[in-house]
């Protein structure tokens, strides 16, 4: 699989709170950074996304009396997993990991900033209706296929890939450039959904080898 000028690499939520020591740490979350750095030069276009929650966000367990992180509850838009407070606007946890160095990124897209609705996907908030604006941006720029890396494989990366397919965009997940939470079988669910929706997967080494082929 070769990268073309109309492809875009979307690096999802490589932020301190999702890396070791963070409020919602993904195991080995920072290990994705070297692999992302290896593939980023293959792409003409790179986008970063950033979880950007206000304090007291409705997805935080602390916002609901008697609730604990990782429980589920019904909110106005459906069932929501409740999380520890994380990626609060302006906090160190919301910052990109210091080792991530992608100065060529053309856009930083912030999501999850509406207090009453969470946003896993880079395309839609969790009500599945409210757009982030990314789809319009890609179409305006005539970018045709999305490659996804970052955190977490089974949540924000997976939801983004599936929404890309829902919008008619080819989507490719790079598994070794991701790490998963794997909460109650979420990895298996994501991979089943990938197969159903036509989300492709490719390892970073295969991308690099394809690019080196004459």
User: Which of 111, 118, 135, 176 is flagged as catalytic?
Assistant: 111
Q: What are phi and psi of 120, to 5 degrees?
A: -80, -50
User: Which of 19, 51, 118, 156 is flagged as catalytic?
Assistant: 156
Is residue 111 part of the annotated active site? The answer reads yes
Is residue 154 part of the annotated active site? The answer reads no
Is residue 13 part of the annotated active site? The answer reads yes
CA angle 104, 156, 182 (to 5 degrees): 130
Active site residues: 13, 111, 156
């Amino acid at each position: 699989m070769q990268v073309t000028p109309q492809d875009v690499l979307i690096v999802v939520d490589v932020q301190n709170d999702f890396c070791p020591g963070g409020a919602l740490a993904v195991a080995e979350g920072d290990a994705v950074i070297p692999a992302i750095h290896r593939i980023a030069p293959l792409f003409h276009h790179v986008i970063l996304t950033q979880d950007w929650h206000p304090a007291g966000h409705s997805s935080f367990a602390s916002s609901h009396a008697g609730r604990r992180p990782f429980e589920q509850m019904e909110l106005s838009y459906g069932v929501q997993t409740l999380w520890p407070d994380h990626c609060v606007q302006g906090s160190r946890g919301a910052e990109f990991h210091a080792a991530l160095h992608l100065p060529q990124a053309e856009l930083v897209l912030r999501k999850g900033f509406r207090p009453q609705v969470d946003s896993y996907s880079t395309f839609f908030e969790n009500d599945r209706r409210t757009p982030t604006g990314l789809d319009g941006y890609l179409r305006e720029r005539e970018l045709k296929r999305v490659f996804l890396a970052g955190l977490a494989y089974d949540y924000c990366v997976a939801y983004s890939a599936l929404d890309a397919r829902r919008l008619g965009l080819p989507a490719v997940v790079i598994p070794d450039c991701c790490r998963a939470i794997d909460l109650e079988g979420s990895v298996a669910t994501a991979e089943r959904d990938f197969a159903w929706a036509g989300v492709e997967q490719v390892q970073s080494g295969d991308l690099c080898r394809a690019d080196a082929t004459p």
